[in-house]
Structure 1
Amino acid sequence: MTAGIATSATTDTPIGPFTTIVDSAGSVLASGWTESIDELAPLIHRTLRPTDIRQAGDLGSVTEAVDAYHRGDFTAIDGIPVSQVSGEFLVHAWTVLRKVPAGAPVTYSEFAALSGRPAAIRGAASACARNAAALFVPCHRVFRIGGGMGGFRWGLPAKQWLLAHEQG
C-alpha cells in the first residue's frame, strides 16, 4: 500500500539545501541536506512511499521549523509530526531520539539504554542509520564512545556543524 501524493520543498541552510517530503497530512516522510527527491524517496518505507511527489516552494510550519532551527531555535522541530515504519525497536528508538535535547548529545550506548535495551548498541546505531527524517528525528545527536562522530548520511561535516550549532 502506498501513500498517494506527497509534497516536497527545499530550503537553503548554512550547510546546504535541505529538502523535506511530507504526506498529505503534513507529516515528514523523509528529509535531509540534499536537493534531490530521488535521494530521499527511497528512504521512505514502502508502505508509506508516495506514488507522486509534487514540489512546492514552502511547506508551511515544516519549512518554518527548518528555518527556525537553523537560526538557533532548536525546539522548533519538536512539534513537527514524523511518519516512519519499521520494527518495534526502531520505531521506539526514533521516538526516544526525538527526546534527546539539543546540546546534550549521547553515545550509541547511552541511546541504546535510553531506548530500553542497553545491550542493543548495534540496534541503536541501526536506528540512526535507517532514520529517513534527518533533523526532525535528530540522529546527529548520537556519537561513538570516546567522542568519535560515527556515521551520518549527510556527511560528517554536516554532523559536526549541527552539533556545534546546538552547543551555541
Structure 2
Amino acid sequence: MTASTAPARHATLGTPPGPFTVVVATGSDGQDVVLASGWTADVGELLPLVHPTLRPTAVERVEDLPLLDVVEKFVAGDVAAIDDVPVQQRSGPFLTEAWQVLRTVPAGHPDTYAAFAARCGRPAAVRAAANACARNAAALFVPCHRVLGSDGGLGGFRWGTPVKRWLLDHEAAHAPVAA
C-alpha cells in the first residue's frame, strides 16, 4: 500500500518551543504511521518532505489525533514515549538505514555527525550522515535533533536551532542515566 492513495490526517499541538504538527496515514496494520512532523502550524510545510510515493493527495485536519498523546507525554518528561511510534519514510538504502539508526541514539546522550556516521557503519560518511538528518521528514519521532556538530555545536535543524536546543535540554533533564 502506498500512502498516496490512503487518506491522511494532520493535527497540531502547542509545545514549549512552538506548534508541532503531525501528518499520519493508516498503515497496512490499521495503525497510524507518521509520514511527516515538525514545528510548524502549516501542514503545507510538511507535505513536500514526504517522499512522492508516500505523499497523500489529500490531508484532513482533525482535532483529536491519538498520536498527539505521545507528544504530550514527551513534553511532560517521558522522553522515551516517542520510541515506538511507527514512521514511514522512503529513500535509498543508506538514508533509510540511517533514519532507523537515528532512532537508536539515546535521549540525553547526543552523537556528533562523525559518531552517527560510525553508528551507521560508515565512519567516513559524515556528510551522508548529516544529509540523513537534513532529509528526515519525521522530526521528533526520528530524532535527528540528537546529532551535533563535531565541535559540539548545534549544527543545523530544519525547525531552527532554538527548537533543537530546547529538545536537547529537555531530554538531558528527563533522560534515564546511562548505565
What TM-score do the two structures reach when normalised by structure 1?
Answer: 0.97
Q: Are 2:54 and 1:48 aligned?
A: yes
Structure 1: 4+ residue segments shifted above 3 A: none
Cα separation, 2, equivalents of 1:14 and 1:129: 22
Measure how far apart 1:146 and its partner are. Answer: 1.5
Counterparts of 1:76-95 in structure 2 under 5 Å?
Answer: 76-95=81-100
Cα separation, 1, equivalents of 2:172 and 2:100: 22
Q: Partner of 2:169: helix, strand, or coil?
A: helix
Cα separation, 2, equivalents of 1:64 and 1:79: 13
For 2:64, the aligned partner's letter is D
2:24 to 19, 22, 25: 22
**Equivalent residue for 1:9?**
11
Say what the alpha-carbon RMSD is for the aligned residues: 0.9
Cα separation, 2, equivalents of 1:58 and 1:133: 19
Measure how far apart 1:82 and its partner are. Answer: 0.1
Q: Partner of 1:94: helix, strand, or coil?
A: helix
Superposed CA offset, 1:19-40 (max 9, x none): 0000123100000010001000
Query: Structure 2, unaligned stretches of length 5 or more?
Result: 174-179
**Equivalent residue for 2:177?**
none
**Equivalent residue for 2:69?**
64
Q: Are 2:173 and 1:163 aligned?
A: no
Cα separation, 1, equivalents of 2:5 and 2:65: 18
Aligned length: 167
- Aligned residues: percent identity? 57
Query: Structure 1, unaligned stretches of length 5 or more?
Result: none
Cα separation, 2, equivalents of 1:75 and 1:59: 19
Q: Partner of 1:7: helix, strand, or coil?
A: strand
